[in-house]
A and B are shown apart, each in its own frame.
Chain A
Amino acid sequence: DTAVSQTPKYLVTQMGNDKSIKCEQNLGHDTMYWYKQDSKKFLKIMFSYNNKELIINETVPNRFSPKSPDKAHLNLHINSLELGDSAVYFCASSAGAWVGYTFGSGTRLTVV
């Protein structure tokens, strides 16, 4: 059983399109995250939800909108995609940041 699963694994789309990435965790964790990993492999936090409530919202364009229908799911919707949005997006979950995160395997988004 995959602990943190993201879909799709790969996403190629044109500029201006709207796309969504889905994430689900079966670990019973209360907190979920979205991270962006750029071409230099730097991991940058975007959002975090705790039990469906937004608790972290870093400086991210408002074209990015997370949604957490329940504590096991955290989806990311991106409007009006731009070339600079091309990156790998990781979902993660934790029982508390101090015990570490469990990451999904990532979604490679390519905007052309």
Chain B
Amino acid sequence: GQQLNQSPQSMFIQEGEDVSMNCTSSSIFNTWLWYKQEPGEGPVLLIALYKAGELTSNGRLTAQFGITRKDSFLNISASIPSDVGIYFCAGHSQGGSEKLVFGKGTKLTVNP
């Protein structure tokens, strides 16, 4: 089945630093999504991308849909302690089943 390779697996950064994480796939996706999960909660949608090359921002978060449609990137600028959590990428193939394929997550720790 389809798999997403998400990296890095974990990150430990200082408050104020920028963060970058990415997801790659061996197959093409028509939609890329980025989620954040905080402890004790379900994942929450941050950004959705629908077009190759698309760059979308949500506050300090910026995500890009790779031109090959096989990858996506999420950047967080000027990190703050509340950015702590697990970030998941997810992809969907048009014509595929009604499900998202999820990456294994990037656990972000921000030291004040």
B11 CB → nearest A CB, Å: 14
In the complex, what residues of A have CB within 8 A of residue B98's CB?
A: 31, 48, 50, 55-56, 94, 96-97
Interface size on B, residues (CB 8 A): 26
Interface size on A, residues (CB 8 A): 26
Specify which of B30, B41, B107 lies most central, judged by the most chain A CB atoms within 10 Å of its CB.
B41
Q: With the chains together, A94 CA to B48 CA distance in Å?
A: 14
Residue contact B45 to A33, C-beta cutoff 8 Å: no
Complex interface bits, A63-85 against B, C-beta within 8 A gives 1, otherwise 0: 00000000000000000000000
Nearest residue, chain B, Cβ from A49: B98
A102 within 8 A of B: yes
Nearest residue, chain A, Cβ from B90: A100
Residue contact A56 to B97, C-beta cutoff 8 Å: yes
B102 within 8 A of A: yes
B60 within 8 A of A: no
Query: Which residue from A41, A98, A104 sits with its C-beta under 8 Å from B105?
Result: A41
Residue contact A98 to B97, C-beta cutoff 8 Å: no
B75 CB → nearest A CB, Å: 19
In the complex, what residues of A have CB within 8 A of residue B86's CB?
A: 41
Residue contact A43 to B43, C-beta cutoff 8 Å: yes
Residue contact A100 to B97, C-beta cutoff 8 Å: no
Residue contact A105 to B40, C-beta cutoff 8 Å: yes
Query: Which residue from A41, A97, A105 sits with its C-beta under 8 Å from B41?
Result: A105
27 inter-chain pairs at a CB distance below 8 angstroms, sorted by A residue, are: A31-B98, A41-B37, A41-B104, A42-B104, A42-B105, A43-B43, A48-B98, A48-B99, A50-B98, A55-B98, A56-B99, A94-B98, A96-B98, A97-B31, A97-B92, A98-B31, A98-B50, A98-B94, A100-B35, A100-B48, A100-B90, A101-B43, A101-B45, A104-B42, A105-B40, A105-B42, A106-B40
B residues lining the A interface (CB < 8 Å): 30-31, 33, 35, 37, 40-45, 48, 50, 86, 88, 90, 92, 94, 97-100, 102, 104-105, 107
A residues lining the B interface (CB < 8 Å): 4, 31, 33, 40-43, 45, 48, 50, 55-56, 90, 92, 94, 96-106
